[in-house]
Amino acid sequence: MIVTFQIKLQKHYHWIYNATNITEMNRFLPLVFLACAINGYAQIPEYIPTDGLVAWYPFNGNANDESGNGNDGESQGAVLTSDRNGLPESAFSFDGSSLISGICESNMDMSIGQALSITYWIRPESYAIHQGTGLFTVGGGGAYYDYAFHLAYQGSDDAESRYPYFLAGQSLFEDNAFNISQQPVPLLEWSPVTLTVCNGEIRMYMNCELIFENTSEDLLQPLSQGTEFHIGSSAWNEPANDGLTGDLDDIGVWNRCLSPCEICGIHNSMLASAMVDAGPDVTVCQGDSVILNATGALGAYTWSNGIVDGLAFAPDSSGYVYVESGGDECSITDSLFIDVAVPSEGVDVQFGCDSLTWIDGVTYTESTNGPTAMLANEAGCDSLVTLDLTVNYTTYSTLDTTVINVLEYYGEEYTEDGEYTVYLENQAGCDSIVTVKLTVEYVGLEELEVGPAWTVFPNPAQDQLHIQSLTGDVDAHIRITNMWGQLIWEARITNQGLLDVINWPPGAYLIQILSAEKALQQQVKFFIE
């Protein structure tokens, strides 16, 4: 046994599957149901309201009613063409003698609720002089319409203007008035047009705008079995009189009145709730003006806080503002945040050595806290900055010293007479320039040991330093200098002495031991850690 499944999806793509046994068929059946479900929903865009939808013709490769209500059409000479988005085989083209027709299901009967909505996209190419154009008609034939949404000419027409036109009732014309808009449908461009009928209240819209409003006594008539609908021409199909020359697409029929919000969503091919746009968030300096311009939806924008769309105003404080469009029938809102940036003040604390060139281009050589400058802060608003400047200066000093053998000065050793320039950093962070005038006396240890011998311990020292004679009772004059030859300590001792050096700076020191007559007898170098 061979069972063939053929699944038709939108854009007339097909799946064909041959099942040779029950097992294969069972495997494929879930795919069949899934494809059918996807196909049923994929044909109706999200922005098309499905509540009350009785027919939807997207013309995706055919004239079928994709709402699932069975109001399928069949082309009689109309050919597929590209739609307003350039998609091929997604609209139908009519040549003035072609049309699409079908048999109405009972759901096309609008007489019970006396409510109707019809929408379509149209691109007319030309018009016959002094003739109307049939677009969507439900009727039994002849000049008797149940309801129709056509284009009409008015007065001495020049074959370039046609106007949306609603008909209903048991005659060619309405009982009390023509329901003809004064807004023409332009040639050679796509336009969305929608009709709503609610208990005699008739409204027409084009490109989201209300273009016609009237009260009519004409009633929507009951449909008889076998009633036809025609697209692209009138019910009795006299193409010489009212056939369309142009393109049609996305025709929808509802058994209720669409709201202005829903209509604008259809015309913009997007969900109406997402259409109003307040614009991007705004940052403005305090005291400056800003203009807010909303876009989309139905226009007639109402802002919070008394803001008028398109009119400059100066906001007092930061916060959200809201815009509403659509009024009571279809209120759509959006918001944006206004950030009111306040001008700021600040102090720029700076330290300079000898001088500082500031942001105002001025070079300052003295400490000051008076200069100011106006800058733009992160928000782009004025920012007043005051300079708080402390100027430190380079210091100059001279060290004139005589040392024995070597001078250790800031990590450097100097062993020859001369004048040296040493660059240091002072407490202010600037250069400290020291001129060292050095005299070096060269003395060997053997030359010094001319008197009693003395010892120094511990060496290096930390807390205390002992100076002790090695030859008994001897008086001596002791002098201690630092590495720069500066006198640190001096005293007369007999036999021994004990010095507290815990608070002395680490470094090298020189002990000179002199006789009672101040003759140099011995010198010892020691260190403090």
**Of 267, 274, 294, which Cα lies nearest the Cα of 210?**
267
**What band does 22 get if pLDDT is binned at 50, 70 and 90?**
low
Is the pLDDT confidence value at 513 over 70?
A: yes
Q: What is the mean pLDDT of the chain?
A: 82
- Structure token digits, residue 289: 């003006």
- Structure token digits, residue 230: 């025609």
3-state secondary structure of 225: coil
How would you classify the pairing of strands 431-441 and 454-457? unpaired
DSSP letter, residue 223: P
**pLDDT of 265:** 85
Three-class secondary structure assignment of 361-420: CCEECCCECCCEEEEECCCCCEEEEEEEEEEECCEEEEEEEEEECCEEECCEEECCCEEE
Distances (CA, A) of 333 to 302, 325, 327, 477: 9, 6, 10, 101
In whole angstroms, give the CA distance from residue 77 to residue 314. Answer: 62
Highest mean pLDDT of the ranges 111-125, 455-469, 483-497 = 111-125
Element (H, E) at 41: helix 22-42
**pLDDT of 95:** 93
- In the chain, the percentage of residues whose pLDDT exceeds 70 is 81
3-state secondary structure of 234: coil
Is the pLDDT confidence value at 300 over 80?
A: no
What are the pLDDT digits (tens) for 250-286? 999 999 999 888 898 899 887 655 567 889 999 998 8
Q: Is the pTM of this model over 0.85?
A: no
Terminal Cα-to-Cα distance of the chain (whole angstroms): 108
Backbone angles phi, psi at 284, to 5 degrees: -135, 145
Is the pLDDT confidence value at 483 over 90?
A: no
- In the chain, the percentage of residues whose pLDDT exceeds 90 is 40
3-state secondary structure of 267: helix
Element (H, E) at 339: strand 332-341
In whole angstroms, give the CA distance from residue 209 to residue 194. Answer: 10
Give me Rg for the CA atoms of the chain. 52
In Å, the largest CA–CA distance within the chain is 154
Q: What is the mean predicted confidence (pLDDT) over 198-223?
A: 88
Q: Are 507 and 482 spatial neighbours (Cβ–Cβ below 8 Å)?
A: yes
In whole angstroms, give the CA distance from residue 27 to residue 30. Answer: 7
Q: What amino acid is encoded at 323 in this protein?
A: V
**pLDDT of 260:** 86
How would you classify the pairing of strands 344-353 and 382-392? parallel
- Structure token digits, residue 203: 């409204």
**pLDDT of 383:** 85
